[in-house]
Amino acid sequence: MRIGIVAYWFNRGQGVVARQLRSALDALGHETFVLARPTRKTNIRPAKIETADVWAQGGITAGSDYLIPIDEYEAWVAANSLEIVFFDQNYQFEEIARLREAGLRTAGRFVWEHFATEHVEPATRAFDAVYSMTACERERYAGMGIESPRIRWGCHPGLLVGSAGKTETATGETVDLLFPGGFMSKRKPIDEVIAAFRAAEGDELRLILKAQVERRLTRVRRLARGGRIGRRDRRIEIITDDLPTTEYMQLFASAQAIIAPSRWEGLGLHLYEATALGIPIVTNDNPPMNEIVIDGHNGLLVPGIEDGKARSGITAYRPDVAALTAAIERLRDPGLRAQLQAGALERRNELSWEQTVSDLGALLETVSAEQR
């Protein structure tokens, strides 16, 4: 089949999912084409489309705007003779419905913190299938009356290149803990993570806060030193460079564990990245994080405390700070780290990419065969 993908095309969760989705479709023997959707002009990375590194691929068409005009969609579909198009986090329901009415098959995916009740009716008109990637996302759709096929996401093979799993650091060396901060959005409980780490005992502990932007940087630096007149915790390092993929994965792979609590997650790509590399994860005991992390097996789960609502109405959570501190201190034990690393490699086999490709193939068959 000739299949299109409409999504961001740069180093952000949605873009990474789109790139990995494309590789799965290619593995199934389909021919793929990408319509790269620029970010909004008001975005912290305005009108962003990446053209270098792993993003330099053939079959990429740059969209003219975040809200792509219908004639541009139609021209792209016609030029590439597309049969089905996958849309990621795209709320242009009227335009997509017109493409569907013209005979194009359409599949849409949304992150559950944005998709709300008012989107159900226009989404079901626009898409042949609204698919999900997590169990909690699928359950939420079911409660809205949407029967959502699931693609069980797994550890992409590109993450495994050169990785045979973590090896334990020698006694007396530092224990590097990585906090993937991404775009430093509201979903990241930065205050709680830094407070929990500052309270943890252990001179060998290091917290590396890796962000892609300098958003909230002044606040983060203030938190790291415990307030305006506090003393800086020199165990905390802050990195805000948006590193190339290879460099980022090298930094990721150097960590003994990742500290990744979240107020909510859409998919949580960093959790799959850690699992692929055999790295233990500390996060809060809420979905979808606890769909990937099994307490005491491939990581440590701490209680999540209700903390308001996300945009769509789902509950947000913040990690219990005292429990997070205790979990961080437990990681000082090399025996525990080795146990969790072994569990992470077992979990990697369970979250296989072959499973993802199989689910995607089943979704294509369903959408292609569906009667309208």
CATH of residue 320's domain is 3.40.50.2000
- 141 and 193 in a single domain? The answer is no
Q: Is 107 helix (H, G, I), strand (E, B) or coil?
A: strand
Mean pLDDT across the stretch 329-352? Answer: 96
> Do 86 and 6 touch, CB atoms closer than 8 A?
yes
Domain hosting residue 138, numbered range: 2-154+353-369
pLDDT tens sequence across 47-101:
899 999 899 999 999 999 999 999 999 999 999 999 999 999 999 999 999 999 9
What confidence score (pLDDT) does residue 164 get?
A: 45
Report whether pLDDT(200) > 90.
Answer: yes
pLDDT tens sequence across 201-239:
999 999 998 876 656 666 777 766 666 556 778 899 888
Please report where in the chains the tokens 């693609």 appear, as a residue. Answer: 151
First to last CA, the chain: 19
What confidence score (pLDDT) does residue 129 get?
A: 97
Q: Cα separation of 176 and 198, whole Å?
A: 14
Domains contained in the chain, number = 2
- 119 and 196 in a single domain? The answer is no
Selection from 93, 320, 223, 286 nearest residue 328 by Cα: 320
Name the average pLDDT for the chain: 90
Task: Give the pLDDT band of residue 163 (cuts 50, 70, 90).
Answer: very low
Measured from the Cβ of residue 219, the count of other Cβ atoms closer than 10 Å reads 13
Task: Give the pLDDT band of residue 192 (cuts 50, 70, 90).
Answer: very high
Q: Cα separation of 33 and 276, whole Å?
A: 27
Give the list of residues 6+ apart from residue 359 with CB closer than 8 angstroms, or none.
149, 150, 151, 152
- 205 and 109 in a single domain? The answer is no
Q: Is 290 helix (H, G, I), strand (E, B) or coil?
A: helix
Q: Is 281 helix (H, G, I), strand (E, B) or coil?
A: strand
- 23 and 148 in a single domain? The answer is yes
- 270 and 168 in a single domain? The answer is yes
Q: Cα separation of 21 and 7, whole Å?
A: 11
Whether omega for the bond prior to residue 288 falls within 30 degrees of 0, making it cis, is yes
- 273 and 173 in a single domain? The answer is yes
What confidence score (pLDDT) does residue 165 get?
A: 46
Task: Give the pLDDT band of residue 301 (cuts 50, 70, 90).
Answer: very high
